């Protein structure tokens, strides 16, 4: 499998973590470089990463790529969804927070301060609302679903690490809810080897 992406993208990281967990190998095409970006645009009209290429088949979107990986490689030591509709809601909520953070980051990278606009505060408020809701839903802590690592947890951990890496949102506000989950999996090889890095 060829995986188009960057070493910083939290959406790409989910796929890298799942691939490592289920034992799928891939060749990374770095889309931060001009030639990688040109290659991405040849395979995807969306121009977003991750994109996976397996021979003739090209798949856009982290969730669909993960669906492909788990369909053909199983879940390995990951927790398979017990209720896929519930997990889908959790991952949708995490995506909502992450997309808000990504928009803030992109504006800042263009030299704009999103906090000078109502838009910026709205994104921060949405992120806070989502993380507060997730804190109740994920049942973290002893005896909670935090004992296992499923797609919602991987997505949340990649999101929190990326928000810290880009200094987009004060994730420490939610340490009481997510600190134990973060600590429990920090050294897990699939997560430890995929932390965001400037390429
Ligand atoms: N729904 C997509 C979101 C992917 C996404 O937003 N990727 C970002 C990088 S973190 C991207 O490629 N952004 C490029 C752009 O917006 O131009 C997925 O889950 O794969």
144 pLDDT more than 50:
no
Q: How far apart are CA 17 and CA 151, in angstroms?
A: 10
The whole-number pLDDT of residue 3 equals 98
Q: Pinpoint the residues of the chain covered by CATH 1.20.1050.10.
A: 84-188
Q: What is the C-alpha to C-alpha distance for residues 37 and 29, in angstroms, rounded to an integer?
A: 9
Closest ligand 1 atom to 9 CA: 10
To test the pocket of ligand 1, the residue of 4, 11, 18, 92 to mutate (highest count of ligand atoms within 8 Å of its CB) is 11
Return the closest-CA partner of residue 97 out of 125, 74, 118.
125
Across the range 134-155, mean pLDDT stands at 75
- Please state, as a whole number, how many other Cβ atoms lie within 10 Å of the Cβ of residue 182: 19
pTM exceeds cut of 0.75: yes
pLDDT digits (tens, 9 = 90+) for 158-186: 999 999 999 999 999 999 999 999 999 99
pLDDT above 80 for 145: no
pLDDT computed for residue 199 by the predictor:
55
- How far apart CA 10 and CA 5 sit, in angstroms, is 10
How are beta strands 27-30 and 51-54 bridged, if at all?
unpaired
What is residue 138's predicted lDDT score, i.e. its pLDDT? 81
Residues lining ligand 1, Cβ inside 6 A: 9-11, 47-50, 61-63, 102
**Segment 57-108, tens digit of pLDDT:** 999 999 999 999 999 999 999 999 989 999 999 999 999 999 999 999 999 9
Q: How far is the CA of 48 from the centre of ligand 1 (A)?
A: 4
Task: Tell me what pLDDT residue 66 has.
Answer: 98
Residue 142 confidence (pLDDT): 41
Atom of ligand 1 nearest to the CA of 102: 10
* pLDDT, tens digit, 9 for 90 and up, residues 35-53: 999 999 999 999 999 999 9
Which residues of the chain are in CATH 3.40.30.10 domains? 2-73
137 Cα to the center of ligand 1, angstroms: 25
CATH number of the structural domain 84-188: 1.20.1050.10
Pocket test for ligand 1, best of 48, 65, 100, 168 (most atoms within 8 A of CB): 48
User: What local confidence, expressed as pLDDT, does residue 197 receive?
Assistant: 77
CATH number of the structural domain 2-73: 3.40.30.10
Q: What is the pLDDT at residue 70?
A: 98
In whole angstroms, what is the distance from residue 182 CA to residue 161 CA? 9
């Amino acid at each position: 499998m060829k995986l188009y992406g960057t070493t910083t993208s939290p959406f790409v990281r989910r796929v890298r973590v799942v691939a490592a967990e289920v034992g799928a190998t891939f060749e990374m095409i770095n889309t931060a470089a001009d030639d990688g970006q040109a290659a991405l645009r040849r395979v995807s009209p969306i121009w977003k990463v991750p994109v996976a290429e397996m021979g003739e088949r090209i798949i856009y979107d982290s969730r669909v790529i993960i669906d492909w990986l788990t369909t053909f490689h199983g879940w390995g030591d990951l927790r398979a969804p017990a209720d896929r509709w519930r997990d889908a809601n959790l991952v949708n909520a995490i995506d909502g927070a992450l997309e808000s953070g990504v928009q803030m980051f992109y504006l800042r990278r263009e030299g704009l301060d999103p906090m000078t606009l109502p838009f910026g505060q709205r994104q921060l408020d949405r992120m806070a609302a989502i993380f507060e809701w997730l804190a109740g839903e994920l049942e973290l802590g002893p005896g909670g679903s935090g004992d296992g690592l499923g797609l919602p947890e991987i997505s949340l951990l990649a999101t929190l690490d990326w928000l810290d890496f880009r200094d987009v949102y004060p994730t420490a506000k939610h340490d009481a809810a997510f600190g134990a989950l973060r600590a429990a999996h920090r050294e897990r090889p699939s997560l430890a080897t995929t932390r965001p890095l400037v390429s």
